[in-house]
Structures are given as C-alpha cells and as structure tokens.
A and B are shown apart, each in its own frame.
Chain A
Amino acid sequence: MLKFLGKRVVQIVILLFIYVTVVYWLIEAMPGSFMDQYLMNPKLTPEIRENLKRQFGFDKPPHVRYLLYLRNFVMLDLGVSFSYFPRKVTSIIAERLPRTVFLFVTSTLVSYTLGYSLGKRTAWRRGKILDKTVTMVGIVFWTIFLPLLAIFNIWLFGVILKILPLNQFIDPNLWRFAPFSAQYIFVRLLLSGLTFLLVMLVSLMIAQKMKTVGAKRLTIYVSSIGTLLILIVSWILSGHSAYAWDIIKHMVLPVLTLTLYSFAGSMLVMRDTMLDVIREDYITTAKAKGLPDNVVRDKHAARNALLPLVTNFVISLGFTVGGGIITETMFSWPGIGRAYLEALNTQDTPLLIGLLVFTGIFVLIAHLVADVLYAVLDPRIRY
C-alpha cells in the first residue's frame, strides 16, 4: 500500500507540473491581455503605460514569466492578482473558499444522500410506479438548463411564496450592525459541520464494535442527536446564532436548486449498480433465509452497490472547491466560481491560473483518496 501511495504521489506531482504548464500556456495564448484596459486609455502617455507594464510584469517575455511563475509556485506563491492588485491570489482564494465550500459541500452531501436513498429504492422496485416517476423526474431536472431552474426557484420561493430570500448570501439589514464579518461565521459553520462529521465517523466505528443492533442504533442516534444539540446550544450561547441562521436561510435555495439539478446522477449510478447486485446469488440466499426486505436491500445489496457511488462522491468533493459559475452568479454567492468568471473577463491571468491550479490540486488529491478508499471498502482490491 505504501509503495502504491508513493507511486501515486510521484504521478500526481508530474501530472500537476504538466497541468500547470498547459493551463499557463493556454491562458497566455488568449488574445489580448489585462494591459488592454490601459492601452485603451488615450490619456496615458507611453511612458506611463510602460511603467504599468513593468508593475504587472508584462515587460518580460512570456517564457520568463512562465519560469518565474513556476519558481513561485514551488514556493507555494500563486502570485499577485491583476484585477485586485496588489492582493495575493492566495488571499482572494482564502476569502472566497469558505463560502464556496460551505455551499457546494452541503449540496453535494444532500444530493448524494438523496441519490443513494432513491437509487436503492428505485432499483429494488424496478419497473414499478416509484421507479418510473423518480427516474423521469430526476432525468428532467438533470437535463434542465441550470440558470432556468435557478430563476424558476427564485421566482417561486422568493417572489411568489416569499418564504426564502431572493438572492445574496446574507441580509445586509441584519449584518450592518454585526461585530464580525460573514467570513467569521462561515468558518465557524464549517468547523461545526466538520465536528459533526468527525463525531459521526467515530460513533460509526464504535457502533461497528457493538454486538446488538439496538446498541448500534443507540450509539449512532445518541451521538448524532447529542452532537447536533450541543452544536445548536453552543451557537445560541455564542450569540451568533441569528447570523448563522441567516446564512443557512440564504443557502436553502441554491442547495435546493443544485440538489434538484444533480441528484439524478448519483441516483442512476446507485440504481444501476443495485440492479446488478440484486441479481447475485447471495441476495437470493438472503431472501430465502426469510430476512425482511429492507434488511436485504440495505445491508446486503446497497452496501455492496455503494462503491462506485463513494468514488464519485469523493471526486465530486474535490471539485467542490471550484464552485460553480452559474450557481454563484444566479444566487449572488460570490465564491471561487464567480472569481473564475471575473478573472476570465478581466484577463487576470495570475488569478485565473491560480484558481485552476488550486482546483486541480484538490481534484488530484480526491482521486488519490478515492483509490485508497477502494482498497479500504472492497477487500478484493489490493495494491
């Protein structure tokens, strides 16, 4: 296993170098440059334009800029953004990342949970009304034009029903008196989520060691409900709960939209794998033993069908740091995806390359994690 990991890390480093190079030269090859906005100002003399070129590094030839970029990259420095000059790319990513991660990890979790749950049920009732309805609804949402779905949801829940906020990620009327920034709450919400997940993981491991089903269930229920209660109480006691609730309230609509749009993907993967699994002899044996239907479905079939879904999920988590241009734009949720768009529109090459490289690193890591998970989850796989 260690040898495999070592090999994969070396591969990732080589791949990353190729990726950075390709990304750099692709963006460099785009017509025009950030300097064009100065080029288009007749009030600036040629000397001043030359000075500006020097400030942004355009006085050096592209290959020198590339080598400098690589040197800085190795030192974990992604450079200085042009359009947010002189802010560092890493500081822009750090500012936007919590907003993006919180929204997209939540929607990925909800979407995969829904997809898993519906996928196993539809496969179990193949050809029945539930299967046909859920599959059709899922595929309709999957093929719908995302901005249209977003506008429809905003119109329905924000304008007609008036039960959810229209846009943005916070309500300015509440936050104008807040003694801290929204970033502070985002980071704490993320920490709360992480705490909850860790507790759940530990309680699952403990539950595995329990002997009776009742004890297992009790461990999981007590730990999850208990942790949730402790987290809610700590938020209330901190006096920040109104702000956290405001963010969560604003997140409902984008999460709902993203879930509706994407749950069909995971549902169909789960359904297909389940259909293969339920034809296996051991499922027939389990049924023949007289085990209840839901036990056979959940414990015998679904667990074995979970592997491709877990792989997809882990890789999707890698992509969450990239955010989504359409979702972030439609819901005025300025995260990493929106930064991509701004960087592209202004030809802010350091920011654009930085964002692509940053996302690329996470995706590569997610692939590595998925490979390792394969071995952990499926005893037949050995590296």
Chain B
Amino acid sequence: MRKLLVLASILVVLSVFAVTINWAFLQEPKTLNPWNHYGPNATVWNSYILDPRYGSLYGYSDVRFDWIPSLASDLPKIEQEGNLWAYTVPLRKDVFWSDGTQFTADDVVWTMNIVLKLIKEYGLGGNWASMIDPDYFVKAEKIDDFTVKVYFTQPSLAKANFGALMMPILQKKFWEPKVEEALKTGAPLQTLYNYDIEDEPIIGAFAFKRWEKGAFVEVAARPDYFDKGSVLTLYKNGAVQISNPKTGFEWSGYGEPAGEKELELVTGPYVDGIIYRMYLNRAAAITALINGDVSFVFNPLGLVRGEADQLARVQNVKVISNTTNGFRYFAFNLRRYPMSIKEFRKAIAALIDREFLCNRVLGGQAFPQYGVVPVGNAFWANPKVAELSPGYGKSMGERYQLAIDLLKQAGFKWVVEPKVEGNAVVRQGRGLIAPNGQRIEQIEMLAPGTGYDPMRATMALYIERWANEIGIPIKANLVDFNYIVQRVWDEPFNFDIYMLGWSLGYYPDHIADFFHSKRAGVGDFNTPGYNNPEFDKLADEFLAAADIETARKLAFKLQEILAEDLPYVVLFDSPIIEAYRTDQIIFPYEQTLSGLQYVSGVPTLVKAAQ
C-alpha cells in the first residue's frame, strides 16, 4: 500500500511538473503511416508530425542546412566498383529504437532494398520513388553491423547524398513481417498504407501517444532518446561539429572546428509532450494564440499582413519573418514565335521593375527574386544573377528604352514606334512587327486570378500595361489555377506565357528538372521547351557531381545561363510570417529558411518558457 502511495505521489508530482506544449494546425494530418505519407498521401501536416519521428543516414544542420551525418557516423566514402559506384556509410553505434533494440545496418539495408522492390514490382510512388530512384539506386549491402554499402549506377548528389541517403529508415524487426504479410495479399500497398503505427518503434525523440480524429494529435517525449544532450556547433569558418558527451559520439567536418562559433545547440527534448490541436480556420487558430491556448501556429502560407499587425500588438506574442524557398515566375513558350527570340524575352524582362511592384504596389508583402534559386537558399543561390537581369537597377524610363532597343536589335518594327521621355512613354507603340515580317496580334499571359493569388494577378496586370505601352500586345488572362495546369501540361504546351510558382527543396536539382532539354516532353517539366546544349552538358555534370563544391560551381554557372537566356522570368516570392508566444515557449533560433515550420517547429530544441 505504501509503495502504491509513493508511486501515486511520484506520478502526481511528475504530472504537475510535466510540460506539454500546445501547437495549432489548420488542417488535420491525412495519415501517420510512413508508407502512406512518403507514398501517395503526403501532406505538409503529416510531415510536421512524422518527419521528426524517423531518422535518416544524413540530415541538414539547423539554420545553415549543412549536409551532416545523422544516423551515419561520418560522411560516405565513394569509390567505383566495376560499373557501379559504392557509397560506404559507417553507422553510429549509440542509436537505439524506442523499443530498446539497437539500430544496425540491417535496418538500413532492409528499408532501402524493400522500398526499391515495392517501387519496381508494385508501383510504390510519392516521395519514396523520388528518394529511391530506380534509374540510379541499385542496392544496399551490409558490410558489418555498423557499415553499409549503397550502390548507384553513377555518383550523384541529387540521387545519392540528397536522395537515398536522406530517406527515412524503418525498423526491420517491426516492419519485415508486416511487409511480408502484405505482399501475400491482393493489394500489398493498400495493406501497408492501412497498418496501424501506434506501437511502431521509432528513432526520433517523440513517440506517438494519441490521435483523436478531428481534434488533436499528441506525441510524448522519449526519456531514452539516444541523442539527448548531443551538441551541434556551427563555426563561422564553415566547420560543423557534433558531440554527444553521454555516448561519446564525436564528428566534425567541413574544416577545422575552431574559431568563432555561429551557433551552438544542445539537443533535448526539453518538453514532455506536444499536443497538435486542429483549428480549421486561421481566425480560430490566431484567436487561440492570442488567448494562450496554443503557443505556435503552423500555417505553410504564413500570416497575412493584417494578422501579423494584429498579433504584433498582443503582449507576449512575437511575430517573425523569414524568406521562403520558392519563387513565382512566368514562363515563355519557346516553341512559339516570337517568344523564341531571346531579345524579345529580354525586352519583356527589362520592363519589369520588381522592386517597385514588391515594395510600392504590394506594400512590402513580397520580395523581389531574380534567379531560379531563391536568395534565401544562400549556399546555392548565385548572387550575381540579379545584376544579369535586364534593366536591373534602372529607372522606368531607362527600362522602356532598353526594351525598345532590344526589340530593334532583334529586327522588330512598329507601325507606330513608341517614344520615351523621362520616365514615361509619350507615344504608345502600336502594331509590333516581328523580324520575319509577321504582325504580332496578341500574346496571352495566363495568370492565376485574384481569388487564388492576388499578388500574381496584380503583377500580370502591371506587366500587361508596361508591355502594351511599348506596343507588345500582351493580354493578361486571369484564370483558375487548374485551367493553367490544363493548358500547360495536359493540352499540352497550349500557351504563350503562363505565370505560376514553385516550392523547392534545399538541393537545387530543380534547375535540371525545369530546363534540361530531355525534360521537354509532354507532361514533363521543361515547359518552356528550353533547349541549350551547353546548359544540358553542364546540367548533366551538375547532376553527376559527387562533391558539393563542384556542384555549387556548376549550379552558379547554370543560374547565369538561365538569367541570360530567360526561359523563365523569376518575379518574386512572399516572406513567411509566423508568430509564437514568448511566455510559453522559447525557440533556439528564429531566422531560418522558410520559417520555423519548415523544421517542424524544432521539437527537440524548443523549451518551455518558465
């Protein structure tokens, strides 16, 4: 009886001091099953909960996004073996699953090989298929309990380092019998997607506790989390150091870990649990934040200006702003005349004063973008690209004149030639005649309507006006998003110019996806039909690069070529604005690409405020 009382007292004391934080979601996750989430049913809401749950061989460092070992103990050793390229990865020996089982090479080898089998034989899709690309990934082999060899057809940062080596690793002991059972059924993938994950052993710091459908998901901190107390240090000289005093694990890379420190983080978790509450509208979530029911609101679109202004006035609520990893752009159809003429594209680009549009017209709700790698992705973005943009830093009058000169240079004529005085067009151009003598009647610019994205709609109307001033007959057609997709991808390529946007990953292999000539087929992603052999060659080299420095140089060169050729005119993106309660939680940092929700709210680092 006395023991029972003592136990009860301990539980009461623990519950009093237990700190569970509440965060708001605007939508409910669709699934918490890894096969389904990394398969066909990926949503950002699932990933906020699931991404911290699983481990991968390599990951990104906080803030700087250095590529660093996570479950691996060092960077991979790459060597050619016959026709194949082998990545030898040493594994950490201090990693344990939540059921107490030690993490070993068996888990890595089984996960990689079974995913490949499911992709090839059963059509497993979604993110699994982009992490394990069957054209590159061959197999994974166990060398010993803590060493694996992963074979690829060729070395590739995109497909190896930032692909297969970053995929989530599942526990073999738990999943192998379930997958075997599923394979015996008529619909193995559906069976896998339906498995309950309640008792699934995990590597991450927070175990699943309860999902009350429609209301909340609760996760609880693992007291036995293997990496608790681990210190990540980023040095200003670019070096990274990881050390876990508890287990003795040490790693450093990217230079000598010495000199001034940029950031030092000690891994938690520091809270006992997190409750993700579902609020189905922004106003409710913001009211809950103001009321103190939640301490942070997840919203991939960020707060709008009015909401941010309202929250800035609330005591103990802090509003933060970060750049995003994406861009909004318009694309020319290079298969059509006169969009195929480079000077014509440059003339239109020269007319667009992004600073004026973002700062004056959109009131600072957007920031100008010039290159296909967003400036926020500082390691990969070429800072010279902005200067290469036609008209950069010029006044409106100079821009008009530059556009007219570019058109003349290419052999364009007008029935009535435009005339510029000061910053204004005093005589509007009419009757644009192409170098082949053809009169340009109308060029359609498809752009999303105001209901979908008022910023893009506004920009399209301004571009139409500026172009019309010098006689380029652009007509902005504000339409439904799906209609643009249909015209560009389904019909296909039934457009002159279209305006859309992309959200991007950290490694910029989208440059090759969007502009390599081999991706210009129907339904593929080189929608402008851009075809430049020099670009293709460099893009191939970029995709095959095995070290980051080489890849970076190539990425810079590719960005410069695109800034010169302009198949896309990158326009802007909007910063992501978030808010949290300073009287309830402390984030270890606030400035990070795409905001704190891009890193799932750093659950292992967030602390309770008191």
Partners in one complex: yes
- A166–B288 contact, CB under 8 A? yes
Task: Give the interface of B toward A (CB within 8 A).
Answer: 22, 27-28, 30-31, 36, 40-41, 119, 123, 125-127, 129-130, 133, 135, 187, 189-190, 193-194, 209-210, 212-216, 218, 275, 277-281, 283-284, 287-288, 290-291, 293, 480-483, 485-486, 489, 510, 513-514, 519, 521, 523-525
Known contacts being A46-B524, A48-B125, A334-B28, is A329 close to B280, with CB within 8 Å? yes
A-side contacts of B281, CB under 8 Å: 329-330, 332
Q: Among the listed B127, B187, B291, B482, which residue makes an inter-chain contact with A31, where contact means beta carbons less than 8 Å apart?
A: B482
Which of B30, B129, B279, B489 has the largest count of A CB atoms less than 10 A from its CB?
A: B129
Interface string of A63-84 (1 = CB under 8 A from B): 0000000000000000000011
Interface string of A267-291 (1 = CB under 8 A from B): 0000000000000000000000000
A–B complex contacts, Cβ < 8 Å, 25 sampled: A31-B482, A32-B485, A39-B485, A42-B519, A43-B129, A43-B513, A44-B129, A48-B125, A51-B123, A52-B40, A52-B125, A54-B123, A55-B40, A55-B125, A84-B30, A168-B278, A172-B212, A172-B277, A175-B212, A176-B218, A182-B215, A330-B283, A330-B284, A334-B28, A334-B278
Known contacts A42-B514, A168-B277; 10 additional CB pairs below 8 A are A43-B129, A45-B135, A46-B524, A51-B123, A55-B123, A86-B187, A96-B214, A176-B212, A182-B215, A330-B281
Distance in Å from the Cβ of B539 to the closest Cβ of chain A? 13
- A328–B40 contact, CB under 8 A? no
B-side contacts of A330, CB under 8 Å: 281, 283-284
Distance in Å from the Cβ of B478 to the closest Cβ of chain A? 15
Distance in Å from the Cβ of B496 to the closest Cβ of chain A? 19
A-side contacts of B280, CB under 8 Å: 328-329, 332-334, 338
Chain B residue at smallest Cβ distance from A34? B40
Known contacts being A31-B480, A181-B212, is A55 close to B189, with CB within 8 Å? yes
- B214–A334 contact, CB under 8 A? yes
Q: Does A1 sit at the interface, judged by CB under 8 A?
A: no
Q: Does A151 sit at the interface, judged by CB under 8 A?
A: yes
- A166–B125 contact, CB under 8 A? no
- A172–B22 contact, CB under 8 A? yes
A86 and B36 CA atoms in complex are apart in Å by 9
Chain B residue at smallest Cβ distance from A328? B280
B-side contacts of A176, CB under 8 Å: 209-210, 212, 216, 218, 275
Chain A residue at smallest Cβ distance from B525? A42
Known contacts being A166-B291, A168-B278, is A83 close to B218, with CB within 8 Å? no
A-side contacts of B283, CB under 8 Å: 151, 154, 330
A198-224 residues with Cβ-Cβ distance < 8 A to B are: none
Q: Does A170 sit at the interface, judged by CB under 8 A?
A: yes
Known contacts being A32-B482, A43-B130, A51-B125, is A86 close to B291, with CB within 8 Å? no
Which of A54, A154, A159, A181 has the largest count of B CB atoms less than 10 A from its CB?
A: A181
A313-369 residues with Cβ-Cβ distance < 8 A to B are: 328-334, 338, 342
B-side contacts of A329, CB under 8 Å: 280-281
- B279–A332 contact, CB under 8 A? yes
- A44–B213 contact, CB under 8 A? no
A147-177 residues with Cβ-Cβ distance < 8 A to B are: 151, 154-155, 158-159, 166-170, 172-173, 175-176
Chain A residue at smallest Cβ distance from B283? A151
Q: How many residues of A sit at the interface, in one of the four size bands? A: 35 or more
Interface string of A134-148 (1 = CB under 8 A from B): 000000000000000
- A85–B41 contact, CB under 8 A? yes
Interface string of A85-117 (1 = CB under 8 A from B): 110000000011001000000000000000000
- A167–B216 contact, CB under 8 A? no
B-side contacts of A42, CB under 8 Å: 510, 513-514, 519, 524-525
Q: Does A245 sit at the interface, judged by CB under 8 A?
A: no
- A45–B277 contact, CB under 8 A? no
B-side contacts of A36, CB under 8 Å: 482, 485
A84 and B213 CA atoms in complex are apart in Å by 13
B-side contacts of A46, CB under 8 Å: 521, 523-524
A323 and B539 CA atoms in complex are apart in Å by 53
Distance in Å from the Cβ of A330 to the closest Cβ of chain B? 6
Q: Does A2 sit at the interface, judged by CB under 8 A?
A: no
A186 and B141 CA atoms in complex are apart in Å by 52
Known contacts being A36-B485, A45-B133, A168-B279, is A175 close to B123, with CB within 8 Å? no
- Among all A-B residue pairs, the 5 with the closest Cβ atoms: A32-B482, A51-B123, A43-B130, A42-B513, A334-B214
A-side contacts of B214, CB under 8 Å: 96, 99, 169, 182, 333-334
Q: Does A183 sit at the interface, judged by CB under 8 A?
A: yes
Distance in Å from the Cβ of B186 to the closest Cβ of chain A? 12
A172 and B211 CA atoms in complex are apart in Å by 10
Interface string of A24-58 (1 = CB under 8 A from B): 00000011100010111111111011011011100
B-side contacts of A182, CB under 8 Å: 212-215
- B193–A39 contact, CB under 8 A? no
B-side contacts of A338, CB under 8 Å: 280
Which of B125, B283, B293, B514 has the largest count of A CB atoms less than 10 A from its CB?
A: B125
A331 and B30 CA atoms in complex are apart in Å by 20
A333 and B187 CA atoms in complex are apart in Å by 34
Which of B40, B193, B209, B510 has the largest count of A CB atoms less than 10 A from its CB?
A: B40
A40 and B523 CA atoms in complex are apart in Å by 9
A365 and B525 CA atoms in complex are apart in Å by 49
- A32–B486 contact, CB under 8 A? yes
Chain A residue at smallest Cβ distance from B191? A86
Q: Among the listed B27, B215, B284, which residue makes an inter-chain contact with A166, where contact means beta carbons less than 8 Å apart?
A: B284
B-side contacts of A328, CB under 8 Å: 280
Distance in Å from the Cβ of A314 to the closest Cβ of chain B? 28
- B284–A167 contact, CB under 8 A? yes
Distance in Å from the Cβ of B47 to the closest Cβ of chain A? 14
B-side contacts of A49, CB under 8 Å: 125, 523
Chain A residue at smallest Cβ distance from B280? A332
A-side contacts of B513, CB under 8 Å: 42-43
A-side contacts of B481, CB under 8 Å: 32
Distance in Å from the Cβ of A350 to the closest Cβ of chain B? 14
Distance in Å from the Cβ of B93 to the closest Cβ of chain A? 33
Distance in Å from the Cβ of B471 to the closest Cβ of chain A? 33
Q: Among the listed A39, A172, A342, which residue makes an inter-chain contact with B218, where contact means beta carbons less than 8 Å apart?
A: A172
Distance in Å from the Cβ of A150 to the closest Cβ of chain B? 9
A45 and B163 CA atoms in complex are apart in Å by 14
- A172–B189 contact, CB under 8 A? no
B-side contacts of A38, CB under 8 Å: 40, 125-126
A143 and B501 CA atoms in complex are apart in Å by 39
A-side contacts of B27, CB under 8 Å: 342
B-side contacts of A178, CB under 8 Å: 212
B-side contacts of A41, CB under 8 Å: 130
Distance in Å from the Cβ of A146 to the closest Cβ of chain B? 13
Interface string of A4-24 (1 = CB under 8 A from B): 000000000000000000000
A-side contacts of B523, CB under 8 Å: 39, 46, 49
A149 and B321 CA atoms in complex are apart in Å by 32
Distance in Å from the Cβ of B553 to the closest Cβ of chain A? 23
B-side contacts of A84, CB under 8 Å: 30-31, 41
A41 and B513 CA atoms in complex are apart in Å by 10
- A83–B480 contact, CB under 8 A? no
Distance in Å from the Cβ of B30 to the closest Cβ of chain A? 6
A44 and B277 CA atoms in complex are apart in Å by 33
- B193–A85 contact, CB under 8 A? yes
A254 and B112 CA atoms in complex are apart in Å by 49
B-side contacts of A56, CB under 8 Å: 40
Distance in Å from the Cβ of A59 to the closest Cβ of chain B? 11
A31 and B291 CA atoms in complex are apart in Å by 41
Which of B40, B119, B123, B215 has the largest count of A CB atoms less than 10 A from its CB?
A: B215
B-side contacts of A166, CB under 8 Å: 284, 287-288, 291, 293
Chain A residue at smallest Cβ distance from B119? A48
Chain A residue at smallest Cβ distance from B279? A332
A208 and B600 CA atoms in complex are apart in Å by 64
Known contacts being A48-B125, A154-B287, is A169 close to B213, with CB within 8 Å? no
Known contacts being A159-B291, A182-B212, is A167 close to B125, with CB within 8 Å? no
